[in-house]
A and B are shown apart, each in its own frame.
Chain A
Amino acid sequence: MALEEYKGVFIFAQQVDNEISNIAFELLGKGKDLAADLGTEVTAVLVGSGVKGLADQLAEYGADRVIVVDDPELKEYRTEPYTHAIASVIDKFKPDVFLIGATAIGRDLGPRVCARVHTGLTADCTSLDIGDFPLVAIPGREQKHNQLLMTRPAFGGNTIATIACPDFRPQMATVRPGVMQKKEKVAGAKAVVEEFNPGFTPNANYVEILEIVKEVSDVVDIQDAKILVSGGRGVGSAENFKLLEDLAAAIGGEVSCSRAVVDSGWKPKELQVGQTGKTVRPHVYFAIGISGAIQHVAGMEESDIIIAINKDETAPIFDVADYGVVGDLNKIVPLLTKQILAAKASKAEN
């Protein structure tokens, strides 16, 4: 493998129902920074059926070039045709770095692609940098420069590992949604659009989609919220979440929850924060009646301000909270809501 032939930062621009997923813009944001460090460009790879018109949106968020693979076989996500599309793009365009969102689609696609092209894939990264490998030069061993250093939590968040892929290309990573920052949108920006179709012939590896069921939900995306009022087992019941909803409404935030709440059937899975739920980084995160298990903390510790309310003084949530109040949430939360409303009202008067 002639490594120097591989150039450029590529990102997989995930789309569902011909609508680009947020993660694609987040990857472009990070990809732009990495490309600047490497002195190269960012290319978005857009795969689907009738998707060419979406290329401009990718340009507005930083793509210098968009490779479009458009074919009726790619209408809905299926492992095999999408793998064929991405592996073919890699064979032809030889990227140095390839980033995929660690979504339900990306975590399926990434490993199949890397197995096909024979390269390394680091899962669920939370930080990406360009640097040297080994980090510190070791006498008698070549130190490679301009490597992608991929940092990720393992062991349910107990451990942080930084991983490199020095001898194979592309250097592939799946990236956890909600962690990387989008760039400011540049309205009217254009990218070079290149169409590429490697040909799709169904074979035994093409699975058949019998049915697609969309679970209709009017739930907001908690990853977009600036303020989250999050409840745990301590809230006590589905009905009692009303207290949190009132607080969220007063302060202009959204309600989220811990896994215990989802398991109890009090709130839908879309609102779950944590390792098996969503990673959030709001400006303010209220952890109300949440003990703070490592699996939960892994999904919210990047929040700017964490405020915990818990009656158990020894709850681990207090180890990550900027402000912690020991007390009964049933009494404190309604008072808090009332005071916030009052504060806002007096501000409005002035």
Chain B
Amino acid sequence: MKIIVCVKQVPDTKGGVKFKADGTLDRGAMLTIMNPDDKAGLEAALRLKDQYGAEVTVVTMGLPKAADVLREALAMGADKGVLVTDRVLGGADTWATSQTLAGAIRNLDYDLIITGRQAIDGDTAQVGPQISEHLNIPVISYAQEIKIEGDSVVVKRQYDDRYHMLKAKMPCLVTALSELNEPRYMTPGGIFDACKDDAPITTWGRADLKDVLDENLGLKGSPTQIAKASDKVKKGAGEKVVLETPDESADYIVAKLAEKFVI
């Protein structure tokens, strides 16, 4: 079985957010990590590899330094990494990103594609389903459990007050929730091998993407455009009181509730 996992290098939200003048993110200026949902997706792929035997290829699109997440994935146990990087791919929205990744994936053999549910920077949860549409394969999003049954994948998928057990024929795409599992650590030997010059990481540019039009790539190929981006204006703090006794505290709240006609 061949599994492709799409991972994204995302800014560690603890490190703050920086923008370029055009309103797009300044990814070069922030600390980065492997997106948590993607890491769960990778772990799911590695468990399928442990259980059934599979070749796991990890694909990322980003700046050259995004190779770091591929090395991390190799050190966890993935077999190969593909970095898709090119100036013309920058500033992409989800449409252009999914076109790019689909173009890269068309060069690879696969039975199953796993992506994270959503990335913690964009928070859209769109790229996985969009890739599946471009490749014309079934999609099951928000997977909580993934099993293989013959030529099909069986997934537990949560809805608001229920879950569905869904069965899709391979090839198909599944998006993973970070609640799916607890990702394994990198192994020391794995880290050593992943950092060697001959680590199995391939770099592709625009020319290596299959069946993708220029007009669908990068900032120019993005139907959505940013009109404005800003740090959130925080709601101002109101009154804060430190009172001597719990009775006074309760009195204070009750007085406020009465003032606002709540009681």
Docked Cα-Cα span, A77 to B141, in Å, equals 13
User: Is A135 a contact of B164 with CB atoms below 8 Å?
Assistant: no
Contact-residue bracket for chain A: 35 or more
> Of all chain A residues, which has the CB nearest B126?
A111
Contact of B159 among A79, A105, A168, A321 (CB under 8 A): A105
Within 8 Å CB of A163, what residues of B?
Answer: 224-227
B143-177 residues at the A interface, CB under 8 angstroms: 154, 158-169
Contact, CB under 8 Å: A325 / B224 = no
A189 on interface, CB distance cutoff 8 Å: no
With A153-B123, A155-B120, A323-B239 given, is the CB distance from A335 to B246 under 8 Å?
A: yes
Instruction: Say yes or no: A166-B232 contact (C-beta < 8 A), given A115-B129, A208-B167.
Output: no
- The answer to the question of B4 belonging to the interface, with a C-beta cut-off of 8 Å to chain A, is no
Say whether A159 faces chain B, with CB atoms less than 8 Å apart: yes
Residue B134 is within 8 A (CB to CB) of chain A in the complex: yes
Quick check: which of B51-59, B181-189, B254-262 contacts chain A, the rest being far away?
Answer: B254-262
Interface residues of B in 109-154 (CB under 8 A from A): 120-130, 132-134, 136-142, 154
**Which of A83, A161, A207, A344 contacts B167 (CB under 8 A)?**
A207
Determine, out of B72-80, B91-99, B199-207, the stretch whose residues face the partner at the interface: B91-99
B222, A120: Cβ atoms under 8 Å? yes
Docked pose: A5 CA to B130 CA in angstroms: 25
Please state if A227 and B121 are interface contacts (CB–CB under 8 Å). no
Q: Which residues of chain A from 211 to 231 have a CB within 8 Å of any chain B CB?
A: 211-215, 217, 227
Closest to A320 in B: B235
Contact with B along A113-129 (1 / 0, CB 8 A): 01110111111100000
A154 to B128, CA, bound (A): 18
Residues in B204-263 with C-beta less than 8 Å from chain A: 222-235, 237-243, 246-247, 249-254, 256-258, 260, 262-263
Q: Is the interface of A mostly helix, strand, loop or mixed?
A: mixed
Chain B neighbourhood of A338, CB < 8 A: 250
By the criterion CB–CB under 8 Å, are A120 and B224 in contact? yes
B13 at the interface (CB under 8 A from A): yes
Find chain B residues with CB under 8 A from A168 CB. Answer: 223
**Residues A336 and B123 in contact, CB atoms below 8 Å apart:** no
Q: Indicate whether A37 reaches chain B with its CB closer than 8 angstroms.
A: no
Instruction: Tell whether, in the assembled complex, residue B95 and residue A118 are in contact, meaning their CB atoms are under 8 Å apart.
Output: yes
Return chain A residues, CB-CB under 8 Å to B166. 207-210
- Partner among A133, A204, A208 whose Cβ is within 8 Å of the Cβ of B227: A133
